[in-house]
Structure 1
Amino acid sequence: MKISVYQELSNIMNKLSNNMKTGVFLGAGSSMSSGMPGIKALTDSVRKNSIHKEAIDKIISIEKTKQMNDYSTIEDILNSLRMIRSLTNDMDSLEIFGINGAQSSLIDHDICNDIYNTLTSKENEIVSNEDLFKAFKRFALWANSVRNSNAIEIFTTNYDLLLEKALEDREIPYFDGFIGSYHSFFHQESVENIERESSLPINWVRLWKLHGSLNWFWKKNREGDVIYRSNHELKKESDKEIVIYPSKEKYTLSRKQPFTTYFDRLKYFLIKSETLFIIQGYSFSDQHINEVIFTSLINNQRLHVMVFVYEDKVLLDNRDNFVMYKNITVYGPNHVIKSGSLFEWDFDNLSEDKFYDQFVNSDMKNVTLGDFKIFTDFLIKITTTIGGELDA
């Protein structure tokens, strides 16, 4: 079966201008479009440069046995290390898989520092290059232009600060649950009561970083380990432990930590009222997030999810899940899943005004909205077309 490119791009434009509650989920593909390394490149870099290569290879060997998978990512490695840390309480007298608690703590700390240094260096390069940074600044402008009775909410698994820097570059206010200016602390109640108390203006973007951030750090206080936010450019490797990627244990830790609160926020956002949820740059590799999305599709029939993928592989690999739900549409370069059916693109009826030509590759017969740079260009241009005025 085939489906018209022109008709579907028109439908997307209409959905985005429909004035309903809107949320966005940004996966790694959004940052990769600007040059940030993806999870595979990051994993390979850490494995190559780490002084703990022998221990890391041992963990990878164990992960292969557990997952029946030939490739373990850096997040799999961190999860195993944190399991060891949790069971040994970081004690050097206890060991699991030949790695003691103190070693696992040191390796965890060093891996996160390697990730921090790699991503921070690349992030600075992107921000200083107008062409590389343009997509995030355009996305920030579009997010600020969304005007209805609900604030736009952005969920992301990305550790980097490209989105925060883009919002601040455009002087767009946003809230992420942290309060304070020196060592900002996470205030759970502000996130949970954000609507009930009308505590923030509608035009403030809500930003929820589900896997942590380069400017989050662990700190001990009278209540134990807590997370605070600081200027990540002032980080000193020797005395700050960065908070990225929540291990499985983190989901059940203190309610005062951001991870559980953010996931609760995602569940609440998707289940409440008529909602448009845009997913961009996500490979559907996080089963915890997938469960929240797919459960919400069942429980809220007024939830409309639009997914834009860079490669058809993501669409086809997850086809059995996508076709189960009538209220999710997945757009790939060559295929579409809509209303529970798989379609190929039909390029025979493109608009005569050529507006949509810039978002398709007619020669290659594919649609390019899975590329975050092109997607943000689309957002800016359709907003201008329907009456917006954006200085892109």
Structure 2
Amino acid sequence: MGIEKFVPKIGTGIDSIGFLFGAGTSFESGYPLVSGLTKSVVGSLSPEDRATLDEALSAKGMSYQDDSGLPNIEEISDIVIEHHTNSQAQRFHDLKEKVRDLVREAILSVSNPDITNQVMLLEKLKRRSFDRPTSVWFFTTNYDLLLEEACAEVGLKLTNGFCGATTRFFSENEFSLVSGTTSGPRFTPESGLTVRLIKLHGSVSWYRKVDRVFEAAPNAIVEQDARCMVLPRRSKVIETMSSPYDRLFHVSNSVMGGRCKHLIASGFSFGDSHTNDILVRPNISSGGISLFNFCEIEPVGLADVRARPNVLHVCKDKKVVGGREIEGSSDAWMFSKFVELF
């Protein structure tokens, strides 16, 4: 069974497709899912920070369960930030920043991640480009560098909004540039596949100096430079209204429904209401994109657009086509099996 069974248009070319990747696409490479990340972060808190967390949760009538890792890191972040906003107590601000540091450390602590699945997917997409000038968009909330490393391994051109040499600076215009050659007045686009990567929540390779954002190898970023990562949250509205995140969402919205008409999601929970509200739902409702979501469990975050004819969920135990459930099993919710479809 191939991807054409689910996304028929892909049989005629890949120029109009895009991918939406979440934590599930990095799990088999060695990175934690939300539950694992939550346990790692909370387990690394000092007794004082843990007491501050318990105080914030208690104010909401909640308590952290060590065995289940609930509430998860996204809910914890929302609660801590809300509690700091209401109380203005410095210890809740400090806890928020400590959580951010521990999330970063959890990602950076994964040594030698396995990029086999990412390389295999990109190699298959490269073959499907038939050496024609082709762009495929990747939208992700992941902080890791798996796609960047896989592009280098496969030998693909990568555009991620940064330009420069060893230290690169963010420039939104990079996403709209096309490489090629000129001969007199004639321009010939560069042959082959270009990966256009939009990291909606930042990366372990990004850092901020004053009001500018730069990119460098993670081990080259000195401690005093603030890494540019949005804290895992259910609602990220405030942070994503600032640069560069506002520009990344702007570019994403301009692409969806235009250069990206078929959005294929993998490992994405749709638990982030901001991404759903700004990018996904409006483009589904307008008919700008068709969504093909490969997931273990049908996401509750898209329940209100479930019946749209341009929505397909391929779940572990069923398919949901335009709101209609069809019995059947699929292992394509696992990223390695998803890659095999191509």
TM-score of the superposition, structure 1-length normalised? Answer: 0.72
Partner of 1:73: 72
Partner of 1:276: 262
Q: Is contact 2:284-2:310 (8 Å) kept?
A: yes
CA shift at 1:295, angstroms?
Answer: 1.2
Partner of 1:55: 52
Counterpart CA distance in 1 for 2:80 and 2:301 is 29
Q: Structure 1 residues 373 and 84, CA, compared in 2 at 3 Å: closer, same or farther?
A: same
Q: Is contact 1:27-1:156 (8 Å) kept?
A: yes
Q: Is contact 2:53-2:80 (8 Å) kept?
A: no
Write out per-residue CA displacement over residues 158-213 of structure 1, whole angstroms, 9 at most, x where no aligned residue.
0111111111122211011011123321112333x447x99985732100001111
**Which runs of structure 2 are paired with 1:150-229 in the superposition (5 Å)?**
150-191=134-175, 193-194=176-177, 201=190, 203-220=193-210, 225-229=211-215
Q: Is contact 2:293-2:312 (8 Å) kept?
A: yes
CA shift at 1:334, angstroms?
Answer: 1.4
1:97 aligned to 63, 67, 87, which one?
87
Q: Structure 1 residues 189 and 261, CA, compared in 2 at 3 Å: closer, same or farther?
A: same
CA shift at 1:73, angstroms?
Answer: 3.2
Counterpart CA distance in 2 for 1:200 and 1:42 is 42
Q: Which secondary structure state, in structure 2, belongs to the residue aligned with residue 160 of structure 1? A: coil
Q: Which secondary structure state, in structure 1, belongs to the residue aligned with residue 135 of structure 2? A: coil
Q: Which secondary structure state, in structure 1, belongs to the residue aligned with residue 117 of structure 2? A: helix
Which is greater in Rg?
1
1:244 aligned to 224, 229, 236, which one?
229
Q: Is contact 1:326-1:338 (8 Å) kept?
A: yes
Q: Is contact 1:322-1:337 (8 Å) kept?
A: no
User: Which consecutive residues of structure 2, in runs of 5 or more, have no partner in the other structure?
Assistant: 63-68, 181-186
Q: Is contact 2:273-2:301 (8 Å) kept?
A: no
Q: Which secondary structure state, in structure 2, belongs to the residue aligned with residue 279 of structure 1? A: strand
Equivalent residue letter for 1:342: E
Q: Is contact 2:133-2:193 (8 Å) kept?
A: no
Partner of 1:235: 221
Partner of 1:324: 307
Q: Does 1:371 align with 2:323?
A: no
Counterpart CA distance in 2 for 1:274 and 1:43 is 33
CA shift at 1:335, angstroms?
Answer: 0.6
Partner of 2:292: 306
Partner of 2:102: 114
**Which runs of structure 2 are paired with 1:344-363 in the superposition (5 Å)?**
344-345=327-328
Write out per-residue CA displacement over residues 96-144 of structure 1, whole angstroms, 9 at most, x where no aligned residue.
53622xx45543443333222221122x232xxxxx4311111222343
Equivalent residue letter for 2:228: V
Q: Structure 1 residues 273 and 23, CA, compared in 2 at 3 Å: closer, same or farther?
A: closer
Write out per-residue CA displacement over residues 248-293 of structure 1, whole angstroms, 9 at most, x where no aligned residue.
212322xxx2211111222222222672211111111011222221
Bigger mean CA offset, 12-21 vs 50-59: 12-21
Counterpart CA distance in 2 for 1:78 and 1:155 is 23
Equivalent residue letter for 2:101: N
Give the paired residue count: 318
CA shift at 1:216, angstroms?
Answer: 1.1
Q: Does 1:32 align with 2:27?
A: yes
Counterpart CA distance in 2 for 1:175 and 1:188 is 10
Q: Is contact 2:115-2:149 (8 Å) kept?
A: no
Partner of 2:184: none
Please tell me the root mean square deviation across aligned C-alpha atoms, in Å.
3.0
Task: List 4+ stretches of structure 1 deviating above 6 A.
Answer: 197-200
Q: Which secondary structure state, in structure 2, belongs to the residue aligned with residue 174 of structure 1? A: strand
Q: Which secondary structure state, in structure 2, belongs to the residue aligned with residue 204 of structure 1? A: strand
CA shift at 1:296, angstroms?
Answer: 0.6
Q: Does 1:261 align with 2:247?
A: yes
1:297 aligned to 262, 269, 284, which one?
284
Q: Structure 1 residues 13 and 327, CA, compared in 2 at 3 Å: closer, same or farther?
A: closer
Flag the structure with higher helix content. Answer: 1
Counterpart CA distance in 2 for 1:266 and 1:296 is 11
Q: Structure 1 residues 59 and 248, CA, compared in 2 at 3 Å: closer, same or farther?
A: farther
Equivalent residue letter for 1:212: G
Q: Which secondary structure state, in structure 2, belongs to the residue aligned with residue 182 of structure 1? A: coil
Q: Does 1:136 align with 2:126?
A: no
Q: Is contact 1:109-1:241 (8 Å) kept?
A: no
